[in-house]
Structure 1
Amino acid sequence: MRASLILVTLLGKFLRVAARLRGGGSAFPGYVVLKLMPDFIARATAQLEHGVIVVLGSNGKSTTTNMVTGIVSAHGDRVFTNPTGANMPQGVASSLLGSLTLTGRLPFDIGVVEVDEAYGEVICRALKPRAGVMLNVQIDQIYRLFEPDRVAGMFDRIARQIDGTLVLNRDDAFLGALGDRLIADEGRDVVWFGVADSVLGAAKHGQVLARNYDAEAAGTVAVDRPVAVEVMRSEGAEVTLRVHDDSHDLTLSARGLHNAVDAAAAIAVSEAAFGDDFSVDTAVAALGSMKTVYGRGELITVGDREVEIVLMKSLASLQMNLDGFTATPDSVLMAFDEHSRDPSWLYAADLSIIERVECLSGPKAVFLALRLEYAGIPYERTETDVEKAVQSLLDGPRPASGRHTLILDYDQMILVRRYLGYRDLEAGAA
């Protein structure tokens, strides 16, 4: 059995090298390995002495995974984690291939794994998580996941595969109903995190959570659920978290209520996993010192100015990012890729924080132009080639703020980062 794992690992590593020589990371090696050894993920991660923590949700998975990894590392554990975006079975397998030794050994103590909800049941069955956190149910990737009710059903089935503590967003109507049901029917260990009413009331669009119409009809949305970690203040990147009875102030690497919520979730699931060995002071210090996950409010210095990358992969992600602005951005580029199958959701976004756009880019730049016309937001020009568009900003006058804000969909974000010299691509780049 051990020999077969070694052989499959060697083949997978060879495929990874070949894929990188062809120009970047790839999930293909993981796909091949899983065909040859369907239980590869289970066999590899069974070596982790302290088990696995999984992170799920419509949005915020990558940021929360990064935060949990930082917290767990600060507690002294060696952490295996999957690169941002490598959250499907083949991506997880490819990440494992990058971490296994040539003899098939996984030299880590614990795993922190981001999991795609559509494949969560299968992946969690293999990982046997000791703890898991579910962040939110939002309207996201409608072409793939359809209605929020369907995603909630996925989370219900995934929860059955998590043996240990389940950490849930108290303010999410779907997750609240799930947790209440698991507690009542199965006596499950559920821990809640959430946002204080005063903070939610000050947030223009709240957490942009999907509505659970069944729960609303039954009158079970507003249920008292005691939280372990609560966001008490969110002002830009300045955050106050109440952990049980104590308050902690910290500065996150990216602004916005959504990042504060992710920080609360990260602390809650880390404490659930570590128990008495958990130190909240260590966790807060780790959160205050870590870098932003790339493409998610990331700041890149180019010459005498900053480039800020804001991701718009769905209505929820864009709205939360726009709501996180503390001032109107004075130099904006927006880019949409042809791979965004149905960008009509953009018409539901509140773009009022944007007063002017310098350049529209990507294959669907014309679509963006039409959306801005309806919103009454002026734009200066269009340039479908995003690399040329970004360079035109960098060659132009330095904005008063010293910062160019690039609002990009997923594929255009990858292209821009690569153009700016950041080649740590997602989904198996390690």
Structure 2
Amino acid sequence: MRTALAVLAGRLVRVLARARGGGSAMPGRVALLIAPRFLGRAVERLPLGVVFVSGSNGKSTTTHMLVRVLRAHGVRVFTNPSGANLPQGVASALLAEAPLSGRLDADIAVLEVDEAYGPRLASVLQPHSVLLVNVQVDQLNRFHEPDRVVRMLAAIAEKATRHLVVNGDDHNLVRLAAGARGGAALAAFRLDPSLLADSPWLARGDNPALADRGAASTLPDTIRVTESSGATATLVVDEAPLSVVLPARGLHYAADAAAAVAMAHELLGDRFRPAEAATGLASMQAVYGRGEVLRAGPGADAEQIELLMMKNPPSLQVNLDAIAEPPEQLFVAVDEGTPDPSWIYGTDFAAIDHVDVLTGTKCWQLATRFAYGDIPVASVEPDLTRALAAFLALPTPAHGRKTILVNYEQMMLIRRQLGHLELEGAA
């Protein structure tokens, strides 16, 4: 009775929240207040159990890729929307699919989880398999240092009893996997050394994330990326090349695809089929804000708007590195979601040659950085609504696409102002 009440109350709050535009964690919060065991009850009878995906950057895209690959193999998958990776967010997602009994009708749950809340969720949901994508400098106001994130991810990994798949190019995760005591079978995904050498940021000799190749070789090499160009990549799967289509351009999306395929390969075993994996990846659209292309304006006159979201130094740099030529029109928006943007002084902005409109509460800090880099800024407008209107009023670029570079919070607001009220990427 308590679970049924939690589902009904949560759904009511969910309807009210969506009427205001967009998703909300409040429905899940209400459900958990009424039925604290709601999460555990929802997944306790799933035939294939629970899989966690976590790490600093790329976990949303990797989760969606893994879901698509599994569904292409005929597996019924429950997953949480992008960004809904806290307990109340996962609970909110469950409300959309769980019946009054609270128990999911699916084969497996593939969940993106926040690094800090992952250990708590792992204790409740008991994931048998864990996929860790990377450890990078991220949200220092919250995590303070990467070593703390490593300890959080290690606590999640300890729950894995079947499979633990990690980034074999990340020394923190290689070391974490070697010390894991959960008894899970270990596997890794990697980029070919030539791709690392060709990446301006990844190849830096002082990049602390890169694993020592000798140490990395101790992990089974499940999936390797050998080629990446634009929105396509080649993976080596069971010693055979597999061409895949990515949801957006960039080497980081190829790494995400390798992570997803590696975990699917372990989960499915003899059922895994490379062709189905490629089909699943090709069916996926960009997760909202991560290389997503939106349309703004009426009918045939609608313009294409490419959203590039950055959370931290690595995510900003890989997005910049993926830009083939300077955007003809560029809008940059950063607010208090990036409390201390001083790290932008270590960013290589060679991929852009100007900014048309700069906005957000951190606009003047970024304007100063661009001035030091001799990157002209045509307009600084702290108010997002006015800034976006000015940007959209610019003539359509010759190649037909405007580019917006934003942090997470500004991305959410911009999508809403462009009329895209749904905040859940299609999995």
If the length of structure 1 is used for normalisation, what is the TM-score? 0.92
SS of the aligned residue for 2:96 comes to helix
AA aligned opposite 1:129: P
Structural mapping, 1:6-405, within 5 Å: 6-182=4-180, 188-206=184-202, 211=208, 221=215, 223-302=217-296, 303=301, 305-405=303-403
- How many angstroms apart in 2 are the aligned matches of 1:280 and 1:372? 45
Please report how far the alpha carbon of residue 410 of structure 1 lies from its aligned counterpart in structure 2 after TM superposition: 0.8
Per-residue Cα deviation, 1:136-166 (whole angstroms, up to 9, x for no partner): 0000000001111111111111111122200
**140-149 vs 93-102, which deviates more?**
93-102
SS of the aligned residue for 2:331 comes to strand
AA aligned opposite 1:341: P
SS of the aligned residue for 1:250 comes to strand
Residue 44 and residue 386 in structure 1: after superposition, are their counterparts in 2 closer, same or farther (change >3 A)?
A: same
SS of the aligned residue for 1:306 comes to strand
- How many angstroms apart in 1 are the aligned matches of 2:54 and 2:166? 10
Which residue does the alignment assign to 1:419? 417
Please report how far the alpha carbon of residue 386 of structure 1 lies from its aligned counterpart in structure 2 after TM superposition: 2.3
**219-228 vs 350-359, which deviates more?**
219-228
- How many angstroms apart in 1 are the aligned matches of 2:336 and 2:142? 16
Q: Which runs of 5 or more structure 2 residues have no equivalent in the other structure?
A: none
Per-residue Cα deviation, 1:344-366 (whole angstroms, up to 9, x for no partner): 11111111111011110112211
SS of the aligned residue for 2:75 comes to coil
- How many angstroms apart in 1 are the aligned matches of 2:183 and 2:360? 50
AA aligned opposite 2:191: V
- How many angstroms apart in 2 are the aligned matches of 1:186 and 1:95? 28
Please report how far the alpha carbon of residue 187 of structure 1 lies from its aligned counterpart in structure 2 after TM superposition: 5.4
AA aligned opposite 2:380: T
AA aligned opposite 1:239: A
AA aligned opposite 1:235: S
Residue 342 and residue 426 in structure 1: after superposition, are their counterparts in 2 closer, same or farther (change >3 A)?
A: farther
Per-residue Cα deviation, 1:49-68 (whole angstroms, up to 9, x for no partner): 22122110101011011101
Per-residue Cα deviation, 1:105-130 (whole angstroms, up to 9, x for no partner): 42222111000010111112222223
**11-20 vs 278-287, which deviates more?**
11-20
Residue 89 and residue 5 in structure 1: after superposition, are their counterparts in 2 closer, same or farther (change >3 A)?
A: same
Please report how far the alpha carbon of residue 254 of structure 1 lies from its aligned counterpart in structure 2 after TM superposition: 0.4
AA aligned opposite 1:282: E
- How many angstroms apart in 2 are the aligned matches of 1:259 and 1:417? 22
Q: Decide whether the 8 Å contact of 1:228 with 1:243 is kept in 2.
A: yes
If the length of structure 2 is used for normalisation, what is the TM-score? 0.93
Please report how far the alpha carbon of residue 22 of structure 1 lies from its aligned counterpart in structure 2 after TM superposition: 4.1
Per-residue Cα deviation, 1:178-200 (whole angstroms, up to 9, x for no partner): 11223xx6754101100000111
Please report how far the alpha carbon of residue 23 of structure 1 lies from its aligned counterpart in structure 2 after TM superposition: 4.0
Q: Decide whether the 8 Å contact of 2:246 with 2:281 is kept in 1.
A: yes
Q: Which runs of 5 or more structure 1 residues have no equivalent in the other structure?
A: none
CA RMSD of aligned residues (A): 2.3
- How many angstroms apart in 1 are the aligned matches of 2:393 and 2:303? 11
AA aligned opposite 2:326: T
